[in-house]
Amino acid sequence: MSRYTQTVSINFTGGIISPGQLLTILDIAEASRVTQVRFGLRQQLLMEVQGKYVEQFEADCAREQVSWHSYGTAPNITSSYPGAGIFINEGWLTEGIYKDVFSLFDYTPTLKINICDNKQTFTPFFSGHINWIAAGAAHYWHLFIRFPKSSRLFAWPDLIYTNNIAQLSQCIESVLAATPDISNEALYTAVKGQLEYNSKPVTTELELPAFHLPYYEGFNRHENHYWLGIYRRDEEFPVAFLRNLCNICLETKTGQLYATSWKSLIIKNIAPEHRRLWDYILGKYGINVRHAANELNWHVEDDSEDALIIKRHIIRHFDNADVRTYGLCFSIRINPGNNCFGSIVISKQEDKYKSRLKGHHRYDILYTQDFNPNSGTLLPYRTGVAKEHLGPYITSLCREFYDNSAPTDPLLSYVAGQQTVTAIAHTEKAVHQCTRCLTVYDETIGDPDQGIAPGTAFPVLPATYHCSLCDAPRESFTTVPATSLGWLAGTQD
């Protein structure tokens, strides 16, 4: 029996998935004896097809007009579209404009292209080769080129009009393919000589928000509906589960699913009366949607069991040591050349002796400048670290991040410096924090959305009270000092 398998990639432009299209793809997968599929870092669908079924898979895809690629040959166009309307509620970049941009691409890119809102921190900005970031002026975009197989980043001198994004991307690809080592200035000159496009000069540098990864899992309220985020610890989604998920979408007229850059799925606009259907299907397949935040902020190479083993090992240490990781994200690089997104990076050293004993493997721990995951500058922290020592070293680096996070508010600086303990003793109080998504219930504010008046103490909340963000029950809250959260809550005039 042949052990050969082929990794197949099916792209969903911008992370948008039609339930009907996905159902067709899952039918093809089942016919080829595929039982589990994954979603990749570039919001694409990945599956392993056994060698003896590859011809059947190809024929079925051709019959159903499903485009597929061998993994790595045609990178998906990624976008921040999955976060629109739930994590991004400001700015001119609407869901309709995203779709207009996607429709402009009438060719299959060979380079990685990112299309992002400048106000979000959910999708990496610079993990592509051609990175489009919405400017402050409506319908204009900043462009950053990250040259293939390098960390060199070139900020394009012009702001580009929306209608020219696809043309300019294709032109840049062709120039880079012909002259891979071209300089920044020569690339700009060559493109300007080949293509006319609407633009205006960049007069102010792009300012990106400080990184904060929103909690993207579980049931969450948004206006009069819910959205649901589904994360899988082993990255594998059972085909049977996804088939049922698509059927629910079609039954409830949910027109789109969204693949994220964190290898998860998001379903938006779930009507309250339909929530029971989603609860049922999650329960039927044992899908957990209550993972800790320190497990969700990881970028791990696609289809790498070795990287997942390292991730699980470090997370177990985080749990045992009760490590805080808010404001950070992590990436693991097992194979050379992979460009994962993270403020702390665990990179496997090249094994000169090609040892099969994983106990001999060593890792480098690096971090980005200012712990900004969008920075291309990696700084060494420890080198040649054995697997069993990764957790303690990374825990120390996390503490260093918080120690070096200088507050900008004078009052917070005063408190952080501990100039006098008695000066703040009268303002310190306890609040209640959701252990799942870290949302805080402050009794001085109450929870108006759930009819809880200001001044309502947490112990007298009704038994039906739940987290206003992730819907966790009241029992999921824990008591913490307000000052431990980095702010002073409830001061009165």
Q: What is the pLDDT of residue 425?
A: 38
Q: Are residues 288 and 308 in the same domain?
A: no
Torsion of CA 489, 491, 492, 493, to 10 degrees: -130
Q: What is the pLDDT of residue 462?
A: 87
11-15, 232-236, 279-283, 337-341: least confident range: 337-341
pLDDT band at 448 (very low <50, low <70, confident <90, very high): confident
Mean pLDDT calculated for residue range 427-443: 72
Task: Evaluate whether residue 360 is within a structural domain.
Answer: yes
Q: What is the pLDDT of residue 490?
A: 34
**Do the bridges between strand 77-79 and strand 113-116 make them parallel or antiparallel, or are there none, so unpaired?**
parallel
pLDDT band at 179 (very low <50, low <70, confident <90, very high): very high
Q: Is the pLDDT confidence value at 414 over 70? A: no
Number of domains in the chain: 4
Q: Is the pLDDT confidence value at 459 over 70? A: yes
Q: Are residues 428 and 387 in the same domain?
A: no
Q: What is the pLDDT of residue 433?
A: 83
Q: What is the pLDDT of residue 408?
A: 54
Q: Are residues 284 and 319 in the same domain?
A: no
pLDDT band at 392 (very low <50, low <70, confident <90, very high): very high
Mean pLDDT calculated for residue range 284-288: 95
Q: What is the CATH number of the domain that holds 319?
A: 3.30.413
Task: Evaluate whether residue 396 is within a structural domain.
Answer: yes
| Nearest Cα to Cα of residue 120 among 137, 139, 133, 130 | 133
Q: Are residues 96 and 196 in the same domain?
A: yes
Q: Are residues 192 and 93 in the same domain?
A: yes
Task: Evaluate whether residue 12 is within a structural domain.
Answer: no
Mean pLDDT calculated for residue range 106-125: 96
| Nearest Cα to Cα of residue 222 among 485, 469, 31 | 469
Q: Are residues 227 and 278 in the same domain?
A: yes
CA 54 to chain centre: 31
Task: Evaluate whether residue 6 is within a structural domain.
Answer: no
pLDDT band at 405 (very low <50, low <70, confident <90, very high): confident
Q: Are residues 290 and 301 in the same domain?
A: no
Residue ranges making up the domain that contains 451 = 410-485
Q: What is the pLDDT of residue 410?
A: 52
Q: What is the pLDDT of residue 350?
A: 83
Q: Examine the fold and report which residue of 201, 234, 268 is the final residue of a domain before the chain moves on.
A: 201
Q: What is the pLDDT of residue 336?
A: 76
Whole-number Å distance between alpha carbons of 101 and 428: 50
Whole-number Å distance between alpha carbons of 163 and 104: 7
Q: Are residues 455 and 398 in the same domain?
A: no
Query: Long-range CB contacts (< 8 A, 24+ apart) of 404-410?
Result: 405/327, 407/486
Q: Is the pLDDT confidence value at 43 over 50? A: yes
Q: Is the pLDDT confidence value at 483 over 70? A: no
Q: Examine the fold and report which residue of 294, 314, 346 is the final residue of a domain before the chain moves on.
A: 294
How much is the pTM?
Answer: 0.82
Other beta carbons within 10 Å of 80: 28
Task: Evaluate whether residue 465 is within a structural domain.
Answer: yes
Q: Are residues 439 and 422 in the same domain?
A: yes
pLDDT band at 100 (very low <50, low <70, confident <90, very high): very high
Task: Evaluate whether residue 36 is within a structural domain.
Answer: no
134-155 tens-digit pLDDT: 999 999 999 999 999 887 899 9
Q: Are residues 368 and 427 in the same domain?
A: no
Helix ranges restricted to H, 260-337: 275-284, 293-296, 305-321
Q: What is the pLDDT of residue 407?
A: 58
Q: What is the pLDDT of residue 429?
A: 56
CA 93 to chain centre: 19
Q: What is the pLDDT of residue 353?
A: 55
Question: Which residues, including other chains, have CB under 8 Å from residue 492's CB and lie 6 or more apart?
Answer: 444
The two structure tokens encoding residue 138: 């409506």
Q: Are residues 94 and 186 in the same domain?
A: yes
Mean pLDDT calculated for residue range 98-127: 96
CA distances, 21 to each of 250, 256, 359, 401 (Å): 11, 10, 44, 44
pLDDT band at 468 (very low <50, low <70, confident <90, very high): confident
11-25, 232-246, 439-453: least confident range: 439-453
Mean pLDDT calculated for residue range 191-196: 96
Q: What is the pLDDT of residue 390?
A: 96
pLDDT band at 477 (very low <50, low <70, confident <90, very high): confident
pLDDT band at 314 (very low <50, low <70, confident <90, very high): very high
Mean pLDDT of the chain: 88
Q: What is the pLDDT of residue 151?
A: 79
- Strands laid side by side in the 5-10 sheet: 69-70, 5-10, 45-50, 36-39, 236-238
Whole-number Å distance between alpha carbons of 175 and 172: 5
291-310 tens-digit pLDDT: 999 999 999 999 899 999 99
pLDDT band at 318 (very low <50, low <70, confident <90, very high): very high
Q: What is the CATH number of the domain that holds 262?
A: 3.90.480.10
Higher pLDDT, 354 or 213: 213
Q: Is the pLDDT confidence value at 5 over 70? A: yes
Q: What is the CATH number of the domain that holds 431?
A: 2.20.28.10
Q: What is the pLDDT of residue 199?
A: 95
Q: What is the pLDDT of residue 209?
A: 92
Amino acid identity, residue 77? I
Alpha-carbon Rg for the chain, nearest whole angstrom, is: 24
Q: Is the pLDDT confidence value at 424 over 50? A: no
71-75, 109-113, 256-260, 405-409: least confident range: 405-409
Task: Evaluate whether residue 449 is within a structural domain.
Answer: yes
Q: Are residues 321 and 226 in the same domain?
A: no
Q: What is the pLDDT of residue 488?
A: 34
Q: Is the pLDDT confidence value at 114 over 50? A: yes
Q: Which residues are 46's β-sheet partners?
A: 9, 38
217-231, 382-396, 456-470: least confident range: 456-470
Task: Evaluate whether residue 76 is within a structural domain.
Answer: no
Q: Examine the fold and report which residue of 275, 294, 313 is the final residue of a domain before the chain moves on.
A: 294
